Structure 1
Amino acid sequence: MLKLNVKNETSRLRAVILGTAESCGPTPTVEECYDPKSIEHVKAGTYPKEADMIAEMDAVEAVLKKYDVDVYRPSVLQNCNQIFSRDIAFVIEDKIIRANILPDREKEVEAIRYVWDQVAKENRILLPEECHVEGGDVMPWNDYIFIGTYSGEDYPDIITARTNTDAVIALQELFPNKTVKTFELRKSNTQAKENALHLDCCFQPIGKDKAIIHKNGFLIEKEYQWLVDFFGEDNIFEITKDEMYNMNSNVFSISEDVIISEQNFTRLNTWLREQGFTVEEVPYAEIAKQEGLLRCSTMPLIRD
């Protein structure tokens, strides 16, 4: 049996699900895309190739193994994009919570069933149907759970609106001793630079007390300000609109000291090293074209 344990984003990682780019299918049509950035690349003819994405994910797996992390991969489904394992489920404390994601992606959940089945039954959580939530919006941070959400009346019309108020309430009930803190995210179906698909597209805690953040990703300034005050201005790395677009906040922590980051994030990686982090650089620019990066394609199961 798997004894799950995830209390925050940065404690020493022991086991993780890493998505797969194998057999991820042909380039989608514009109508099949779930986010504005993928649409841009489909139209421009620059949508990533499977072989390049497989190589990028292999580089991440190599780093994880270097640090003795147990790496689980989904069963490969034919012609199915299974890169973003964070979308389909997430772990808080000793519970794995299945995300109620876009109906087209149900089969991705089946591909990690062999992991799901290793968890004690009482710790496998299925949320009610009306709860929409994706792992990219959910961040356990010790006594807090940070959740990105969108509660606008146009929620049903916005494909990039992923986590709703029903899900927030359900998670608060599941973890009554934690403080659930929600953040309204800026959404756009058409402008990638104005769209925070998930909370981890514009914010992520790192180390013990630091964070990467993009102010414009937050709809409500005082919610953004709460995070700045919580972590302290000196502990925050503020990213630009272009850096958000390139997914600079979507790095992935192996521990409080070690971060996997994209090799082109020069400004961020320099700052991280100045703060004393070990930065493991990998190529991930092709996968980034689908509006997801390192945190999106990993789903931690066990941290110390």
Structure 2
Amino acid sequence: MLQLNIKDETSRLCAVVLGTAVSNGPTPTIDGAYDPKSLEHIKAGTYPVEEDMVKEMEAFNQVFQKYNVQVFRPEVIENYNQIFSRDIGFVIDDIFIKANILPDRERELDAIQYVIDQIDPLKVVRPPEEVHVEGGDVMLWNDHIFVGTYKGSDYKDYITARTNMHGVNYLKELFPNKIVKEFDLVKSKIEPRDNALHLDCCFQPVGTNKGIIYKSGFREEADYMYLVDLFGKENLFHIEREEMYHMNSNVFSIAPDVVVSEKNFTRLNNWLRDNGFTVEEIPYAEIAKQEGLLRCSTLPLIRD
């Protein structure tokens, strides 16, 4: 049995589900794009090819091996995108929460059923249908659960709006002892530089008291200020619009002092090293073209 334990984003990682780019399927049609960044690359003819993405994910896997992390991979579904395992479920404390994802992605959950079978069934929950909540919007920080959402009245018109207020309230009921704080995120169907697809596209904690943040990803300045007050401005690395577009906040922590990052994130990686982090740099720029990066590709199960 897997004894799940996730209380934050940075404690020493012991077990994780890492997505797969094998048999990733053809380049989507323009109508089939889930987000504006993929759309941009489909139109430009620069959408990533499977071979490159498989190599990038293998580089990520090698870092996990180096740190003796137990890695589960989804069973391969032919011609199907299974890179972003963060979307399909997430763990809070010792509870595995299945996400109600876009209906045509339901098969991705089936592909990790063999992992879910190793969890106490009483610890696996599926929210009711009206609850939308994806792992990229859920971030744990000690007694806090940070949740990205979209409060606009046109929520249903945005395929990029992934977590609704039903999702926020569901987590409040499930974890009454935690401080559940939602953040209203900026969304765009057409301009990837103005689209925070998930909370981890504009914010992520690193270490024990630091974070990476993109101020303009928040619709309300008060939400941004909440994090500034909590972490202290001097502990936050502020990324710029282009850095947000390249997903600089979507790194992944293996331990409080070890961060896996994209090798082109020069400014961020220097800041991390200056602040005492070991930075494991890997190539991930092709996968980034689908508006997802390192955190999106992982579903952590156990941290020490």
Match of 1:24 in 2: 24
Match of 1:106 in 2: 106
Q: Mapping of 1:274-285 within 5 angstroms?
A: 274-285=274-285
Deviation at 1:229, TM superposition (A): 1.1
Deviation at 1:281, TM superposition (A): 0.2
Match of 1:39 in 2: 39
Q: Mapping of 1:159-238 within 5 angstroms?
A: 159-238=159-238
Structure 1: runs of 5 or more not aligned: none
1:57 partner amino acid? M
Deviation at 1:151, TM superposition (A): 1.6
Cα deviations by residue, 1:50-89 (Å, 9 ceiling, x for unpaired): 0000000000000011000000000000011000000000
1:207 partner amino acid? G
C-alpha separation between the residues in 2 aligned to 1:82 and 1:136? 15
Deviation at 1:278, TM superposition (A): 0.1
C-alpha separation between the residues in 1 aligned to 2:90 and 2:226? 25
C-alpha separation between the residues in 2 aligned to 1:60 and 1:240? 25
Would you say 1:60 and 2:60 are equivalent positions? yes
In structure 2, the residue corresponding to 1:181 is in which secondary structure? strand
Deviation at 1:152, TM superposition (A): 1.0
C-alpha separation between the residues in 2 aligned to 1:56 and 1:31? 27
C-alpha separation between the residues in 1 aligned to 2:224 and 2:61? 33
Match of 1:247 in 2: 247
1:96 partner amino acid? F
- The runs of at least 4 aligned residues of structure 1 exceeding 6 Å deviation read none
C-alpha separation between the residues in 1 aligned to 2:162 and 2:145? 17
Cα deviations by residue, 1:170-201 (Å, 9 ceiling, x for unpaired): 11111110000000000000010000000000
C-alpha separation between the residues in 1 aligned to 2:233 and 2:4? 33
Q: TM-score, normalised by structure 2?
A: 1.00
Would you say 1:69 and 2:69 are equivalent positions? yes
Identity over aligned pairs, percent: 66
Would you say 1:157 and 2:157 are equivalent positions? yes
Match of 2:256 in 1: 256
Please report the RMSD computed on the Cα atoms of aligned residues, expressed in angstroms.
Answer: 0.4
C-alpha separation between the residues in 1 aligned to 2:202 and 2:35? 15
Deviation at 1:213, TM superposition (A): 0.2
Match of 1:128 in 2: 128
C-alpha separation between the residues in 2 aligned to 1:135 and 1:224? 20
Match of 2:269 in 1: 269
Match of 1:293 in 2: 293
Deviation at 1:237, TM superposition (A): 0.2
In structure 2, the residue corresponding to 1:133 is in which secondary structure? coil
C-alpha separation between the residues in 2 aligned to 1:120 and 1:63? 29
Structure 2: runs of 5 or more not aligned: none
C-alpha separation between the residues in 1 aligned to 2:255 and 2:59? 18
2:57 partner amino acid? M
1:211 partner amino acid? G
C-alpha separation between the residues in 2 aligned to 1:121 and 1:174? 16
Q: Mapping of 1:78-93 within 5 angstroms?
A: 78-93=78-93
Q: TM-score, normalised by structure 1?
A: 1.00
C-alpha separation between the residues in 2 aligned to 1:37 and 1:90? 24
1:21 partner amino acid? A
In structure 1, the residue corresponding to 2:281 is in which secondary structure? strand
